Each structure stands twice: as structure tokens, then as C-alpha cells.
Structure 1
Amino acid sequence: MSPPPISPTTTMTTQNREISSVKSKVHIDDLNIRSTFSPAQGITITVDHEVDADEAKVLAMGYKQELKREFSLWSLFGMSFSLLGLLPSVAATFFYQQLVIGMSPLPWIIAIIFITSVALSLAEISSAYPCSAGAPYATSQLAPPKYKAFFSWFAYWTNWFCQITGSPAVSSTCASLMLALYSFNSSTYTPTAGHIFGLSTGIQIVCGILCSLPLRYVTKFCSFTAWCNVAFLIIVFVMLLGGNQRMELSEGATTKFNSNSTAWSLENQTEWPQGLTFLISFLGVIWTMSGYDSPFHLAEECSNAAVAVPRAIVMTSVVGGIIGFFFMIAIAYTLVSIPLVAEDTLGLGQPFVSYMVQVMKHKLVVASTAFTAISSFFMSLNCLLTSSRVTFAYSRDGLLPGSDIWKKVNPVTRTPIYAVAINIIIGELLLLLKFAGDVAIGAIFSVGAIAAFTSFTLPTLFKLTTAKNTFKPGPWNLGKFSQPIGWVSVAFVVMMIPILCFPTVKGKDLHPKEMNWTALVYFGPMLLVTIWYFVDAHKWYKGPKSNIDEADIVYDADAIEDGSEVGEEEKR
């Protein structure tokens, strides 16, 4: 028997609970989306306020609208581009690109083609499932129903590992750049692991405070950081070319710029065959470009998310790829000696700074390093912002221990401040790896790359296979190119996962300090959470779960008559 209708002005009490008047109804079937309610049909969600198309879609996916939508396409792109942090990322990944295969920009060109295919596939999926949980939520909806819980569990954890390693990794880079700058100006100072850890901690805390502010301030600051990052990148680019005095500064330089044959040449710095070394060097490009997924995790804080989010993902990947390529060109034509950079005769601990010393005079090196360090701070801030939203979203699904705490949204700031706090604490634990040496802390760079690309690719794989006939694309999609681009991205990631675990030396030269610990740091925890699932978690974890009150969900003929409808018309 259907309950009596509730008029827009009526308030009634049932079982000592007040139910406010219904103003809107969201008919899930009209929104063309698979969600936590699927495969049930005829479900209507009733709410006590007017809803727009963005909130209707989030409700249809099974979640309340708890975060304010302050991001526009441009502020979303600005945040994402700042998180990409091309200038500090290039500086941080010298170890994984130039010091692996040489100065040639050729690895960047090849890698960016495949990375863009991964980004395009992810953008298409984000348009269909614009929620903060991102690719793992999409995985849960596209995986075979029988294995939905396991694959979503796996995708959630791999993406979470990616997110929580980002901010401490960038904070460590920022601290290293700042201390290298101080060391460059002081002949008596040499940075220690303790100094880098302490400064990284301070950077993390400042970023945490900024990420906990009301969103209207955060979005403005993100837009500001985007313009600063672009400006700093252009300034350093001009300095490298216009301030190039390498003929005066380096004995090995006989011309102002390298010849084409030198700039594009490959110098194998490892003990592996050159073809394999070429692929290993992709780590630098992959890590540099791995931040383009961040708009996905801010989908519930963005207007017109089903269109703005995929556009921001593609814009970040394409613009970042093009600008990064020109920056690689500048490095290739000005760098004097890869071996001298690797030797780090100045003891700076930053190969990017050692490279600039070969090319520019003292004042320009100081200015360029300062701009790079500031950009690195902005990047750390945006990494923490994104990762805190991921922790919030996954806690909402009951995935993490202590989820009831981390999913709370502060009523004043309307931001998940507890999620920010736990991410900082975990980041501090990861930063302790600095005391185990550069190779250990460097492992989190590889972990971020593998974890990110695994998470991005799982929903694409299921979209192409088990959900080939059931996937319902959003308003932004690849059309007839969806399948070929999807298969290219899947093949690329499958090839790169084992390669990213290779050390740069082998045989008798391979010892603990030269070992690539990525396999242990990533696959170790993933093995543990997999065991946890089969031993215990499968009993209670069934995939993403709705946090909408049961009293607000109406089935079939029980739909309430009153209130405005949000269905096909609102969706358009």
C-alpha cells in the first residue's frame, strides 16, 4: 500500500523522526546511468530542496550532495595543471629520464602519445560517472557483477596508494630544491635527510591548513597557482635559452647550443639494452603527467561536471604534453654533460640544479631554482587537495579503517578536514623513507606511476570487454574512436607496469642501494589488501554503497506525487 502523498508544505513525524516536505524527485531511470542502485528499476529519490542536473546525477549514483560546487572548468583546469607541476616535475624526474637515456626529447614524444590515449579513455569514463570516487567507482559499475566487489576493492586501494604518495613525494622535492638553493649559496652547508624531512613536514602542514579552508578560497588560490606555474615555466624556459652562457661556464661546450645530432641522441646510462632503457625512461614522463586525473576526484565540487571534468582532464594532458615537450627541447639543446650532472660534484642532490649550473650564471640559477621550488609547493598543495577528496570519497563507501571519521565534512568550511589530517599523517610516515636513502624515497615516485595507471586503466578494460554492450557514455565521449583508443591505452599500461619495476643496474652491480623497490612498496601492500579481502573484507564489503537515507528512496508505485521532477528534461 502506497503512503499518503506529502505536499510541498507538509511536515510529518514518523517513528520520532521529522521528515521535511518534498520539493524534488530524482527518477534514476531517466538519468541513463548505472549506479549503486543497479540493476533495480523504478527508483525515485525524494529530497527536501530544489536540485540541479549535477546533484541529480550524484543522487542517482547513490550519494548525497555534501560538498559545495565552487569549481568551474577553468578553476578545475587550473588546479589540475598546477598539480601536474611541469616545472618541478621535470626537475624531480631528471633521475628517471635524462639520467637514464640522455638528453633527447624523443622519449617524451613517444610516451606522451600513449599517455594521452589513457587520458582520453579516462575522460570518457569520467563523463559517465562524475563523482569524487573517480575511476574505482566506475570500475565497480563496469566489472562483471559476480566480481564487482573484488575489482572495486582492488581499484580503490591502488588509487588510494597513488593519491597518498603524491603529496609527500612532491613535498620532499620542494624541500630538496629549497635546501639545494641554500647549499648553492653557502659553501659550508650540506643538506641532510633530517633537514629534508623537517622542511617537508612544514610544507605538508601549511598545505593541510590551506586545503581545509572554505572551498571558495581554495578555488581562487588554485586559479592563482595555475597562472603562477605557467608564468614560472615560461620564465625559466626563457632563462635557459636567453641566459645560456654555457660556452663560458663549461669547458666541454664549444657552441652555444647542441647540434641536432647531439640534442636528439640517446645515451644509455644503464646496463640494460637501449630499447629497454628507452622504455624505462618513460617513468619520468608518466610521473610528470600523472596528475591529469585530479578533476575526476573533484567532480562533486564542479558545475556541469559531466562535461567540465572530462574537458579538464583532456586539456591538462594535451596542454601539459605540448608545453613539456618544448621544455624538453630547451634542455636537450643546452645541456652540456650528462655524466657531470650525474656526478653532482657540487653536492646539491638535485640534478636539475646541477644542469642549470652548466648553462647559466649564479643569479639566474638561484632565480630558476626559486621559481621551481615555489611551483613545487603549489603542486604539493594540489596533490594534498585531491588526495584528501579521495580519502573522503572512499571513506564514504566504508573502505578505510576509521571511515566514520574521515568521511565527515566540517559544517563551517564544508571541506573534509579529517581526511586532510589523516593524509598528512600517512604522508609523514612515508617521508620517513628519506632516512633509508634516496632509492627508498624514490620508490614512491614509481609507486605513484604504477598505482595511478592501474587505477585509470581497469575501468577502460572492463568498458571494452565485460561492459561492452552495457556501458552508457556521458555527454562527453569518444564516439567511434572509443574502442581503438581504449585498446591502445590498455596495451600501453600492461606493457609499462613490469618495466617500471626494473632497476637501472643488474648482476653483480645490483645491491640494496641500487635496487628498484617499487615492486615491494606497491605490490607488497596490494598483496596484503588482497589477502584481507579474501580472508575478511568479502564478508562486509560489497562495493560502493549509497549514503542516501532509506526514507528518501521510493520504489515503483510508491513514488510520491508532489514536488518538482528532475529527470530527462533537467538532464538536458
Structure 2
Amino acid sequence: MLDALKSKSKSNSAVVSPRESKGLSPVTSQVHVDAMQLTSMLSNKDITINVSHEVDQDEAVILAMGYKQEFKREFNGWSVFAVSFSVLGLLPSIAACFDYQQLVIGMSPIPWLLAVFFVTSVAFSLAEVASAFPVASGTPYAVSQLAPKKWAPFLTWITCWSNWLCQITASPSVNYSGACMMLALRSYRDPSYTPTNGHIYGLTTGIQVVHAIISSLPTRWLATFNSTGTTCNIVFLVVVFVMILAGNDRDSRYNGDVPKFNKNAVAWSLYNQTEWPQGIAMLMSFLGVIWSMSGYDSPFHLAEECSNAAVAAPRAIVLTSSVGGLIGFLFMIAIAYTVVDIDAIAEDPTGLGQPFVTYLTQILSDNMVVAATALTIISSFFMGCSCMLAASRVTFAYSRDGMFPGSRWWKQVLPLTQTPVNAVWINLFIGQLSLLLMFAGDTAIGAIFSVGGIAGFVSFTMPTLLKITVARNHFKPGPWNLGRWSTPVGAVSVAFVTTMIPILCFPYVRGKDLTPDEMNWTVVVFFGTLLLVTIWFFVDAHKWYIGPKSNLEHDQLVYGDSGEYVIHGKEKDETSQEYDEKS
């Protein structure tokens, strides 16, 4: 597959030509959209964009996509991968997802291996789309250009809301898990302490506020912070991995009744703890892998802050999913060969409410349990911050297209930091509202984990479905592409997502055991929201929402040889004055 990856060069001189221009500034650049060999809201209209300064290739691409360059491109290939890998947060993600993987089908690494294969196919297809459409709005922009004209606004609308639900629930779910682990560690050191929902909510709120402050900083500082966080995450992951294998003293802790490591037959065996057949239970356990591996889309949303985005962003997506999947698999093997009693972990005899911490108490000394948990908490902090950063860029991008009420506020970029600060803080507010689900019980708050999985899948896969079906003859791949493997990999990813969407809505019990407390509320939270926004679209939004909208000044766009100016891809005519007044 890697042999099929291609890199095609584009000549700057063919698309960006500095010149002297009367009536403009002394140095002007012209970006000829159709010469860029890409698909955008301005392509195939013979449009030339006049810019009052010299532009580089990255700015030429974003201009041709229809947007101003509003951010500094201070992320490079490594730092954008750093954000993505930090959002992945393997150590805290694996710790947070015991309930959704190990306590569903057992400790075997087999579910992880199978799920990662399909998740990686989704990531590879997404990377190809990111190379073709390197803009912060991500998959909705791609959908708007690939979908049939009649259905493009609606499909873009649904993709936007799905992706936004994925992003907006990421930081609260990560920080909720991190707060629970902090309080579990206190309970471990002080058995008389029992955390309440109020304690968890308050601590999660504090973490969220700190992350909002960090996410409002200038891009250069954010790049440095996330690079540091990724380094810590990698180091801490290796340290905890070594602690689990080398510090494992379960043979002496259980007086020789168990060996130091499980036998192969035990480590690789499946243990169905649901009321469904083992095959269904296996698929249900993929939620733990899907959530642990989520975050590889972050480079897509940082494309407008990254240099050489059409190559660096897809490479970061592929690297995150591939490296993350491999490291996670090795971590699963370590857990499988050291776990003592899954039933005891499920019963939580320590009262910690954190299966991962309970697992550590079975194999490590007290001091090592504290150390491993502390490193996991620190990794969780960096992960939550990266999630907040990515979500704020999504909110900014969709506000730029006018999707939300109050979009004119959320799309503003603070001149001091050149970052979308308003988008950061509205995300914080909405995240705090979603965290109120914890007061409705564990099942309700658990919905934000599975909602993120489904919502992300819908968003990631919609452009892939379109590019291998209705758009297969006019999709223009970017510099990073899958070549002849594009359709087969895309078909596998679409089939996997189509299978998993209903599976992720299954409750773990059925029949008479299915009560409101045991219900999987994902179907209500996600599809209920999707139903509401669908009604909104057909009742009202279809009148004004058309998908991505250019924010270039209308006098920058010139149509063909006639010299007529165009506004957002439409020729300036007698309706222009009315349009200008509305703008």
C-alpha cells in the first residue's frame, strides 16, 4: 500500500505570480484557482484572486479554497503530529476504556488487533481527503465539493454536526476520566474518602478552564506545549509499559498461586461478559479501541496553521493511526499476560471506580500503583488540552461558514494571539453542559464516549463514501494519495463504519434485564440531536445554509478575461448591492 502513495509537485510559478498592479498595492500576487489542480468552491469558474502581498504555496492553496489566511502557520509536520498523538493519548485512553473493551470481551489482544486494522483503513481514507482539501473545516468542506449539487447543503450540514458532536464531547469525556482517576488515586491513599459527583464535576471544570486558557494562547506557544505533551505521553507510556512487565509481582502477592505471567491460552482467550453472542460482544468491545484511537483527525483541523499542509496533515494522520495502533497492541499484550482476575476488576473491590487502577493493584506494589496512575493522569491532562484545541478550530471553521447561532462571534480571531479565543470559550461552556450527564448516572455520562465514536465515524466516512461512488470520476486527489488502493481501502472503511454504527448503540444486556439504568443512551443523544438538526434544516436552515462560504473580499476575485469581479463564486450583477448590504 505504501508503494502506492504518491507525491506530485505543483509549481508555485504556475499558480502564484507576483506582479505590479495599478490600483492595488505595489506588490501584488495573483492566484489562478484552476491552475492549482484542486477542487474548491471557486474552481472551474476561471477565477483569479488578487492579493496585496506575495504569498507562498500554503497561502495560495487556502486562497484557492476560498478562505483568507487568518492564522500563522507555525505548526510543522512534527508539531501537528504531536497534537494528533496527544489527542490519541494511548495511556489515558486505554485506562479510560476498560469498561468498554476488557470488561466486555476479556483481556485478549485479539479485539484490538482486528479493530485497529479497520480503524486504520478509515484513517488512510481520511488522510487522502485531507490532502485534497487542506482546510480547518475538514470533512464537511470535502463533502460540499464531492456530493451531488442538489444534496450537497444537507449532507454538508449533517457532516458538520456529526463532526462537531465528536469534537465537542472529546475534551469533557477525557477530562471527566482524568478527574475520576485523580479522585480514585486519593481514595486509594485514603480509603475513608469517597468522591461524589459534585467533586468530580468541580475537578473536571477546573481542568477544563485551564485547558481553555492554554488553547487561547498564540499558535507558536501551542505548538511548543503540544510537542512537550507528546514527548511526555510517549515517555510515560513506555515507563508504565515497563512497570507492568518488570514490576509485576503477582506471583509473590498471591503466594505462588498464580504464575508471574499468564499462559498463552489464558492471555489470548475471550471472555464474553455480555448477554449477546460472542461475535456481537467482540464488535461491541471495538468501542474501547475506537475511542482510544480517536484523535487522528486533528491534523485535518490544524491544516490552516500548518506549513505544507497538503502533505504534513495526511502524513500526521497516517502516522498517528499506524504508530498508535502498534503501540496500543503491544500494551494490550502486556495487560493480557499480567491480569489476574477480570471478575474482581469488574466487581471493583477497592471501590475506586477505575478498572485500570484496580487492575494495577493486582500486580504492582502500592508505590508503583501510585506512580503508574500519576503518569496516566498527567498524560490525560495533555490529551484533554489537545482535544480542546482541535475542537475550538472546528467550531471556528463552522462558524466561518455561518452554521451556528452567533457565528459572527465564534468566528472572530483575537488579534493579540491570532487564535479563535471566542470559539475556545463557547466550547468550554457547551462541554460543561454535557458533563451534567454525570448526575444522571454512569450510563448517561458513558454516552459521551460512544457518541464521540459514532459522530466521528459518520463525519470521517461521508467524504470517503462520496469519493468512491458519485464523485469517483471527478475527485482530484492531493499530493498524498492512495493511488489504485483508494477505492478498495475506502470500501473497507465504509463497510466497517456501516457495521459499527448500530453496534455502538447496543446495550450490554437485553430482555428483562434491560432497564433505563442499563439502556445505551447513545441512540438518544446522537440520533436525537441529528433528528433535531435535520428538522431545523428542512424547516429553516435550507433557506440560508449552502455549505462553506468564501470570506474573501469580493474585489479580490476576478472572473476570466472579462475583468468582471465575482462575489463568492458568483458574477457581480444587479443583485450585488443587495448582497453587499446583507454582508
TM-score w.r.t. structure 1 length? 0.94
Name the aligned partner's letter for residue 300 of structure 2.
F
Asked if the contact 1:253–1:336 (Cα under 8 Å) also holds between the matched residues in 2, the reply is no
Q: Secondary structure at the match of 2:50?
A: strand
Give 1:447-466 correspondences, 5 Å limit.
447-466=451-470
Which residue of the partner structure matches residue 36 of structure 2?
31
Which residue of the partner structure matches residue 110 of structure 1?
114
Name the aligned partner's letter for residue 460 of structure 2.
F
1:37 Cα deviation from its structure 2 partner: 2.1
Which residue of the partner structure matches residue 581 of structure 2?
none
1:529–1:253 distance in 2 versus 1, CA, 3 Å: farther
Cα distance in 2 for partners of 1:251, 1:107 equals 32
Pick aligned residue for 2:366 from 362, 366, 375: 362
Give 1:108-507 correspondences, 5 Å limit.
108-250=112-254, 253-507=257-511
| 1:122-145 superposed Cα distances (whole Å, 9 cap, x missing partner) | 000100000000011111111111
Name the aligned partner's letter for residue 422 of structure 1.
I
| 1:471-529 superposed Cα distances (whole Å, 9 cap, x missing partner) | 00001000010010000000000000000000111111111111111000100000000
Name the aligned partner's letter for residue 35 of structure 1.
S
Q: Secondary structure at the match of 2:31?
A: strand
Cα distance in 1 for partners of 2:390, 2:257 equals 43
**Structure 2 spans left out of the alignment, 5+ residues:** 1-17, 565-583
Which residue of the partner structure matches residue 531 of structure 1?
535
Pick aligned residue for 2:103 from 91, 99, 110: 99
Asked if the contact 1:232–1:371 (Cα under 8 Å) also holds between the matched residues in 2, the reply is yes
Matched, 1:517 2:524: no
1:254 Cα deviation from its structure 2 partner: 1.4
Asked if the contact 2:87–2:294 (Cα under 8 Å) also holds between the matched residues in 1, the reply is no
Asked if the contact 1:268–1:274 (Cα under 8 Å) also holds between the matched residues in 2, the reply is yes
| 1:389-424 superposed Cα distances (whole Å, 9 cap, x missing partner) | 000000000011110000000001000000000000
| 1:76-115 superposed Cα distances (whole Å, 9 cap, x missing partner) | 1111101100000000000000000001000000000011
Q: Secondary structure at the match of 1:26?
A: strand
Name the aligned partner's letter for residue 243 of structure 1.
G
Matched, 1:555 2:559: yes
1:372 Cα deviation from its structure 2 partner: 0.4
Identity of aligned residues (%): 63
Pick aligned residue for 1:545 from 549, 557, 563: 549
Asked if the contact 1:307–1:476 (Cα under 8 Å) also holds between the matched residues in 2, the reply is yes
Name the aligned partner's letter for residue 349 of structure 1.
G
| 1:123-173 superposed Cα distances (whole Å, 9 cap, x missing partner) | 001000000000111111111111110000010010000000000000101
Asked if the contact 1:168–1:428 (Cα under 8 Å) also holds between the matched residues in 2, the reply is yes
1:253–1:368 distance in 2 versus 1, CA, 3 Å: farther
1:401–1:308 distance in 2 versus 1, CA, 3 Å: same
Name the aligned partner's letter for residue 391 of structure 2.
S
Cα distance in 1 for partners of 2:257, 2:460 equals 43
1:7 Cα deviation from its structure 2 partner: 7.7
Cα distance in 1 for partners of 2:518, 2:499 equals 23
Higher relative contact order (CA 8 A, sep 6+): 1
1:250–1:354 distance in 2 versus 1, CA, 3 Å: farther
1:303 Cα deviation from its structure 2 partner: 0.3
Asked if the contact 1:117–1:489 (Cα under 8 Å) also holds between the matched residues in 2, the reply is yes
Instruction: Count how many residue pairs are aligned between Structure 1 and Structure 2.
Output: 547
Name the aligned partner's letter for residue 245 of structure 2.
L
Name the aligned partner's letter for residue 27 of structure 1.
H
Name the aligned partner's letter for residue 356 of structure 1.
L
Runs of 4+ in 1 over 3 A off after TM superposition: 6-10, 19-22, 250-253
Cα distance in 2 for partners of 1:190, 1:85 equals 27
1:250 Cα deviation from its structure 2 partner: 3.9
Q: Secondary structure at the match of 1:24?
A: strand
1:552 Cα deviation from its structure 2 partner: 0.7
Cα distance in 2 for partners of 1:246, 1:559 equals 79
| 1:251-308 superposed Cα distances (whole Å, 9 cap, x missing partner) | 7951000000000000000010001000100000001111100000000000000000
Backbone CA RMSD of aligned residues: 1.3
Asked if the contact 1:134–1:296 (Cα under 8 Å) also holds between the matched residues in 2, the reply is yes
Q: Secondary structure at the match of 1:459?
A: helix
Cα distance in 1 for partners of 2:195, 2:355 equals 14
Q: Secondary structure at the match of 1:145?
A: coil
1:441 Cα deviation from its structure 2 partner: 0.7
Cα distance in 1 for partners of 2:555, 2:285 equals 55
Which residue of the partner structure matches residue 564 of structure 1?
none
Matched, 1:48 2:52: yes
TM-score w.r.t. structure 2 length? 0.92
Cα distance in 1 for partners of 2:148, 2:292 equals 33
Cα distance in 2 for partners of 1:530, 1:259 equals 52
Cα distance in 2 for partners of 1:152, 1:247 equals 56
Name the aligned partner's letter for residue 478 of structure 2.
G
Cα distance in 2 for partners of 1:302, 1:157 equals 24
Name the aligned partner's letter for residue 187 of structure 2.
S
Q: Secondary structure at the match of 1:146?
A: coil
**Structure 1 spans left out of the alignment, 5+ residues:** 1-5, 13-18, 561-572
Asked if the contact 1:250–1:358 (Cα under 8 Å) also holds between the matched residues in 2, the reply is no
Q: Secondary structure at the match of 1:285?
A: helix
Q: Secondary structure at the match of 1:174?
A: helix
Name the aligned partner's letter for residue 295 of structure 2.
G
Which residue of the partner structure matches residue 94 of structure 2?
90
Asked if the contact 1:208–1:384 (Cα under 8 Å) also holds between the matched residues in 2, the reply is yes
1:338–1:294 distance in 2 versus 1, CA, 3 Å: same
